[in-house]
Amino acid sequence: MRFISRLLLTAFAFTTILPMIHGINFHGNFGVALVLSLVFGVLLWAVEAVAKALAAIFTITSFGLALLWIIPVWILGFWILPATALIITADLLPHFLSIQGVFPAVLAGLVMLGIGLLTSEVQGQNRRTAH
């Protein structure tokens, strides 16, 4: 259920919210937005996996000293991952989504991060009430 709600909210964001950000253009209908949300979700998963793998490698190879800078960067830069996934999505599907610049990607990444937090919070509340 969380997957479907996140997919629909992300598609809604692609069609209505993201085009309101200056520098982001969406061309297509809701079906195209659903495909973009699937691509974005897979790329976000891949970007997060690479970031976690790099953090683990740096932590292990530095005997834990890398955590002194990885943790603050992770806390302050959590919004970079969705922005990166959006830029890659726009590069893969330029006929449907275009992003001009990093600042619009960061704003759109914050919107996508909010959708992710919203859907994960709703899922967490559903789990608590079911038990």
- Give the count of domains, the chain: 1
Is the residue at 120 inside a domain? no
DSSP-derived secondary structure letter, 16: I
Q: Is 113 part of any domain?
A: no
pTM: 0.84
Is-contact 13 35, C-beta < 8 A?
no
CA distance 27 to 24: 10
Task: Quickly list H helices, the chain.
Answer: 2-12, 30-61, 67-76, 80-92, 102-130
Note the pLDDT of residue 32: 96
Domain range for 6 = 2-97
Name the residue among 119, 6, 114, 34 with its Cα closest to residue 26: 34
pLDDT in tens, the chain (131 residues): 788 888 999 999 999 999 999 999 999 999 999 999 999 999 999 999 998 999 999 999 998 888 888 888 888 778 889 999 999 999 999 999 999 999 999 999 999 989 888 888 655 555 555 55
User: Do the beta carbons of residue 22 and residue 120 sit within 8 Å?
Assistant: no
